[in-house]
C-alpha cells in the first residue's frame, strides 16, 4: 500500500499520519510494538471499497512528537483520537479502528465522546468489562511478562535499547507463523529511536503510575472505563498469543446493545496482517459499506 504522510492539525497536537484513498474517512490507531504502516493490507482493501484511510502515529511515536508526551495515560491517548476525529470531520463522527493500544483509545472515545464516532471496531484487546478476568489468570499474567518488565526503570530501557530481540519475540509469539516482511524493519526503526522507545514505556507505566495521568482529563476517568453507549465490533484472533480468544467470551454483556464480538480463524494478534481479507470483510460489513 502506498501511503502519503500528512499532518493533522488539532487543538491538542499536530499528528503525523499515513493516508491513502478518497471517500468517507476511516481512522486507524496502532498499538505496540507497531507502526501505522502495518494497516497497509487492510487499508488497501478499504481504499478499494471507496474509503479514505488515515493512520496516525500515536503521540510520542514519531520524531515530530517525540517531546510531546508529558502524560501517557489512556485518557490522554483517547483525547488525542477525539481531537483527530474532530479535525477530520468537524460536523459528524468518523469510522474508527483501534488495534492493541489503539483498541483502548477507540473504546474510550466511544464512551466519552460518542458523537465523534460513526462506527467503531476494536481489535486484539477485550473491552474493560472482561479484561480484569484476563489479569487474574496466571497463564495470562505470564503472557503479560513484558508489561511487568516495562515497569522497571532502567532495566526495561536497557533490554529494549540493546537490540530489538524482545520486539521480534513478541511478534513471533503473538502472531505465530506470520512473516512481517518489510514491517519488521519499520517497527525496528521506530523503536530503535531511544526517545520513541522511552515514550512507549511511558504509556505502559501510566497503567499503574497515576503521576503520568493528565489531571485536566480526570473528570472523564469514570466515564471512560464504562461501556460505550454506542455498539462496537470487537475482533479477536483465534491464534492470538498475547490475549487468547477465551478472554473475549461474554464481552457482549459489557457492551451496548447491538455490539458484536467475533473471532477471526487463523489470525493472531496482528490480524490486519494475518487475515486482511477477512478483517476487511468484517470491518466493511460493520461500517455498512
φ/ψ (deg, to 5) at 17: -150, 160
CATH of the domain at 32: 3.40.50.1820
Task: Give the whole-angstrom CA distance, residue 274 versus residue 14.
Answer: 31
In this predicted model, what pLDDT tens digit does every residue of 95-130 receive, in sequence order? 999 999 999 999 999 999 999 999 999 999 998 877
Task: Give the whole-angstrom CA distance, residue 68 versus residue 55.
Answer: 19
Task: Give the whole-angstrom CA distance, residue 93 versus residue 85.
Answer: 7
Task: Give the whole-angstrom CA distance, residue 212 versus residue 227.
Answer: 24
Does the N-terminal peptide bond of residue 159 adopt cis geometry, omega within 30 degrees of 0? Answer: no
Q: Count how many domains the chain has.
A: 1
Cβ neighbours around 207 below 10 Å, total: 15
Tell whether the model's pLDDT for residue 247 goes beyond 80: yes
Task: Give the whole-angstrom CA distance, residue 6 versus residue 18.
Answer: 6
The grid coordinates listed for 76 are: 490522554
Q: Hunting for cell 530489538 — which residue is that?
A: 164
- Residue 228, judged by CB atoms within 10 A of its CB (0-12, 13-18, 19+), counts as buried
Tell whether the model's pLDDT for residue 8 goes beyond 90: yes
Separation of first and last alpha carbons in the chain: 20
Tell whether the model's pLDDT for residue 278 goes beyond 90: yes
Tell whether the model's pLDDT for residue 157 goes beyond 80: yes
In this predicted model, what pLDDT tens digit does every residue of 16-50 receive, in sequence order? 999 999 999 999 999 999 999 999 999 999 999 99
Tell whether the model's pLDDT for residue 286 goes beyond 90: yes
The pLDDT value recorded for residue 289 is 58
pLDDT band at 253 (very low <50, low <70, confident <90, very high): confident
What domain range includes position 208?
4-287
Amino acid at each position: 500500500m502506498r501511503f502519503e504522510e500528512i499532518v493533522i492539525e488539532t487543538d491538542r497536537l499536530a499528528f503525523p499520519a499515513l493516508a491513502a484513498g478518497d471517500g468517507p474517512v476511516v481512522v486507524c490507531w496502532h498499538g505496540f510494538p507497531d507502526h501505522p504502516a502495518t494497516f497497509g493490507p487492510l487499508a488497501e482493501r478499504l481504499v478499494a471499497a471507496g474509503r479514505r484511510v488515515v493512520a496516525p502515529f500515536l503521540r510520542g511515536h514519531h520524531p515530530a512528537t517525540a517531546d510531546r508526551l508529558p502524560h501517557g495515560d489512556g485518557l490522554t491517548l483517547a483525547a488525542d483520537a477525539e481531537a483527530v476525529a474532530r479535525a477530520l470531520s468537524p460536523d459528524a463522527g468518523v469510522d474508527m479502528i483501534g488495534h492493541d493500544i489503539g483498541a483502548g483509545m477507540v473504546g474510550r472515545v466511544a464512551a466519552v465522546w460518542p458523537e465523534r464516532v460513526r462506527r467503531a471496531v476494536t481489535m486484539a484487546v477485550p473491552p474493560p468489562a472482561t479484561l480484569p478476568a484476563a489479569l487474574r489468570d496466571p497463564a495470562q499474567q505470564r503472557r503479560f511478562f513484558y508489561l511487568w518488565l516495562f515497569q522497571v526503570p532502567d532495566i526495561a530501557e536497557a533490554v529494549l535499547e540493546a537490540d530489538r530481540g524482545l520486539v521480534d519475540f513478541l511478534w513471533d509469539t503473538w502472531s505465530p507463523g506470520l512473516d512481517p516482511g518489510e514491517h519488521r524493519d519499520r517497527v525496528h526503526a521506530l523503536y530503535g529511536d531511544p526517545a520513541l522507545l522511552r515514550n512507549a514505556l511511558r504509556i505502559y507505566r501510566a497503567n499503574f503510575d497515576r503521576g503520568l495521568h493528565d489531571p485536566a482529563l480526570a473528570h472523564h476517568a469514570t466515564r471512560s472505563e464504562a461501556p460505550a453507549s454506542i455498539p462496537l465490533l470487537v475482533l479477536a484472533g483465534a491464534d492470538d498469543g498475547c490475549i487468547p480468544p477465551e478472554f473475549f467470551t461474554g464481552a457482549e454483556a459489557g457492551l451496548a446493545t447491538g455490539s458484536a464480538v467475533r473471532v477471526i480463524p487463523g489470525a493472531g494478534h496482528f490480524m490486519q496482517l494475518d487475515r486482511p481479507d477477512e478483517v476487511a470483510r468484517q470491518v466493511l460489513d460493520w461500517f455498512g459499506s
